């Protein structure tokens, strides 16, 4: 059982207040949606949850079996898909998967690699250079890399970015499986994706 809490999280850049006193709690089997207009701070808040950006005040707590996880522990348990996460175009999809597996201290066998690529709709394309991929195929590969270690905490920024209808169906299947493995936090302003949430944290564009 895992759990995530946002406790009065605020972010400010100089005189610009992005958001203030954001609070939410989500646990295994649930999806938390961070929704709001462009510029409201959705991606910033997700980056704070991921530990990539520091909040001005407040905190984000990760729990596993009611024990608060350290920053190092939480990094090992997070999977992240975001627009600014880059794949290496000069490598093949398989080489990208192998690289990110090694970064996490994992050994990725050929069968597991093929299973991951098949799960995201890239079966048979593992030996192609990523620079030959369309933007939608790169987005699918990001999901494969994020799921390498079967993370209990899956964080998604604009989960359907660049995906066609078949790709969005794959994301929906991933979300269903993730509910069995842990929880999801996703940032979006797409009504279809907002509807995935068991709870919605709405941000308004600050002054």
Quick: pLDDT tens for 125-140.
999 999 999 999 999 9
Are 71 and 118 part of one and the same domain? no
Strand 2-13, strand 16-27: pairing: antiparallel
CATH code for position 162 = 3.40.50.300
Indicate the residue among 150, 169, 193 that finishes a domain.
150
Domain check: are 134 and 162 in the same one? no
| Token reading at 3 | 């759990």
Q: Is residue 103 part of a domain?
A: yes
| Structural domain that includes position 38 | 1-77+151-207
pLDDT, tens only, 46-65: 999 999 999 999 999 999 99
The average confidence (pLDDT) of the chain is 95
Same domain for 7 and 93: no
- Angle CA(40)–CA(32)–CA(85) in degrees, nearest 5? 65
**Domains in the chain: how many in total?**
2
- Indicate the pTM of the whole model: 0.95
């Amino acid at each position: 059982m895992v759990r995530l809490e946002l406790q009065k999280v605020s972010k400010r850049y100089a005189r610009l207040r992005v958001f203030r006193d954001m609070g939410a709690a989500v646990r295994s089997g649930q999806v938390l949606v961070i929704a709001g207009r462009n510029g409201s701070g959705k991606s910033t808040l997700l980056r704070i949850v991921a530990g990539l950006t520091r909040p001005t005040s407040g905190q984000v707590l990760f729990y596993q079996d009611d024990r608060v996880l350290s920053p190092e522990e939480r990094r090992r348990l997070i999977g992240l898909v975001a627009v600014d996460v880059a794949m290496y175009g000069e490598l093949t999809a398989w080489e990208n998967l192998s690289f990110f597996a090694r970064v996490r201290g994992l050994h990725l066998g050929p069968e597991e690699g093929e299973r991951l690529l098949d799960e995201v709709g890239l079966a048979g394309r593992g030996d192609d250079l990523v620079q030959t991929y369309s933007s939608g195929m790169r987005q699918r590969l990001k999901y494969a890399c994020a799921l390498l270690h079967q993370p209990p905490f899956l964080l998604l920024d604009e989960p359907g970015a660049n995906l066609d209808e078949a790709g969005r169906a794959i994301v929906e299947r991933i979300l269903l499986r993730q509910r069995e493995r842990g929880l999801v936090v996703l940032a979006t302003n797409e009504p279809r994706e907002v509807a995935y949430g068991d709870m919605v944290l709405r941000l308004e564009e600050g002054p």
